[in-house]
Amino acid sequence: MTAPISLIVGLGNPGNEYEHTRHNAGFWCLDAFAHSQRISLSPDKKFHGLAGKGHINGQECWLLKPATFMNRSGLAVAALANFYKLKPENILVIHDELDLPAGIARFKTGGGHGGQNGLRDIISQLGNNKDFHRLRIGIGHPGDKSRVTGHVLGRAPVAEEQSIRAAIDEACRVLPDVLNGEMAKAMNRLHSFKG
């Protein structure tokens, strides 16, 4: 059993122009999970984002979408975590992942930021602590480093977006297990999913 999750954070960029971009896969997943659990998110200035609290399988959990840009995501995460005295191991961060193909989602605990600016800022704001959990939503790699920015800030073709959203739907089904500390059970199901 892992520590129970008390905060789930979805990463993305605010604003209509970014809403449908691959970089917002973390927002897509958090929105889908909030909807499935009937948790409403509303602006919360002290947490620099949209926040909502719910009870999932008897476990209290906060959901958070930072209202800052991706590279300042840690501001919101640290504000809520510090306020409620949450440890990094009680936090799950959902983010887009270049190193996984579209349609694949994977859990991971700890590790570096892999060039993901949201993770980089969260690690920094949590005092260089990397021990939080991650839910990596695959968006595929464009094949060349010079094309990464355009890829993550671009919109996926319809079939690719459908694959990403299918992986998100499956991730939302297993998140309640993660909240209960049953990470291994959630991993087994999600990691065998083929979108």
Whole-angstrom CA distances from 87 to 101, 129, 137, 183 are 31, 10, 23, 17
pLDDT band of 164, cuts 50, 70, 90: very high
- Known catalytic membership, residue 20: no
CATH number, domain at 165?
A: 3.40.50.1470
> Cα 53 vs. chain centroid, distance in angstroms?
16
69 assigned ligand-binding residue:
yes
85 sits in the region (left: phi over 0; alpha: psi -120 to 50; else beta) called left
1 occurs within a structural domain: no
195 occurs within a structural domain: no
pLDDT digits (tens, 9 = 90+) for 94-109: 999 999 999 999 999 8
Q: What is the pLDDT of residue 37?
A: 94
Q: What is the pLDDT of residue 183?
A: 86
18 assigned ligand-binding residue:
yes
Q: Of these residues, 23, 48, 133, 151, which one is catalytic?
A: 23
Residue type, 186: A
pLDDT digits (tens, 9 = 90+) for 19-67: 999 999 999 999 999 999 999 999 999 999 999 999 988 889 999 999 9
71 assigned ligand-binding residue:
yes
Q: Give the structural domain span for 60.
A: 7-190
Q: What is the pLDDT of residue 84?
A: 94
In the chain, how many domains are there?
1
